[in-house]
Amino acid sequence: MLKLRQMQQRKQQEKQQQSGSALVLETSLTPAQLRLRQDLASIDIPPTVLLDESDLLANSTAYMTILPDEGFYRSGTFKFSLHFKDTYPIEPPKVKCLNKIYHPNIDVSGNVCLNILREDWSPVLDLQSILVGLLLLFLEPNAKDPLNKDAAFDLQADANKFGAHVQATMRGGVLRNVRYDRVVS
């Protein structure tokens, strides 16, 4: 172990020659929390998204609100919860839509079908990727991989009719015996 101990000594001398300021170390945060903090430090939030991180330290949950300014879902307010475990970023956060909405890729229980949240997740992705992914779901709902089959069928068959359904359900209307949440003010 002589070599390692010599290396340590060299490093100690180097440190002493540098300024005497000791390293301030963050001790209370887990590696997953540190990574989240880094995500937040570098995130670029567009005006169509609100991010609420107030519950992140206490409950590992962030809230993201999507406010689309174009497309079928324009002028709606859609709230999502993102729950992070200590496995982040090896595992993606669990994302739920907190409003009951009519959307081809989001079911009425709030489950979200977005590839990067499941099969295509990778530890190099971050909060920014999820933000962009959720925003894209509202700008370009995808009828090819449906979670709400009726909505996907409507979108494929007649985009105008689909748009009318979206507008009605966003105002809290009933469609095919399901009452949706009001998400416009």
Partner 1 sequence: MTDLTSVSVLVLGAGGLGCEMLKNLALQGIPTVHVVDMDTIELTNLNRQFLFTEKDVGRAKVEVAAEYINSREIVGAGGQLVKVTPHFQDLTLFTRDFLAQFTFVISGLDSVEARRHVNAELVKITLESQFQKCIPFIDGASEGFKGHCKVIIPGFSACYECSLNTLPAKTETYPLCTVANNPRKPEHLIEYALMVQWPQTFPDVSFDYENPDHLHWLTEQSIDRAQSYAIDASALTPNFILGVIKNIVPSVVSTNAIIAGQCCIAMTRLLYDLYDFENSPNFSIFNGEEGAFSHSYLHSRDPNCLICGDNKQTL
For residues 63 and 109, what is the distance between their CA atoms, to the nearest angstrom? 17
Q: Which of 54, 59, 75, 122 binds partner 1 (CB under 8 A)?
A: 122
Taking contact as CB under 8 A, which single stretch among the options 16-24, 46-54, 71-79, 172-180 is the one that binds partner 1?
16-24
DSSP string, 125-181: --HHHHHHHHHHHHHS--SSS-SSHHHHHHHHH-HHHHHHHHHHHHBT-EETTEEPP
User: Taking the chain, what is the end-to-end CA distance rounded to the nearest angstrom?
Assistant: 69
Binding mask 41-60 for partner 1 (x = CB under 8 A): x-------------------
Min. distance of Cβ 70 from partner 1 in angstroms?
24
Is the bond into 68 cis (omega within 30 degrees of 0)?
Answer: no
Residue from the set 45, 149, 158, 179 that interacts with partner 1 by CB under 8 A: 149
The answer to whether residue 97 is catalytic is no
Residues in touch with partner 1 (CB under 8 A): 1-4, 7-8, 11-12, 15, 22-25, 27, 30-32, 34-35, 37-38, 41, 86-87, 89-92, 105, 107, 109, 111-113, 115, 118-124, 145-147, 149
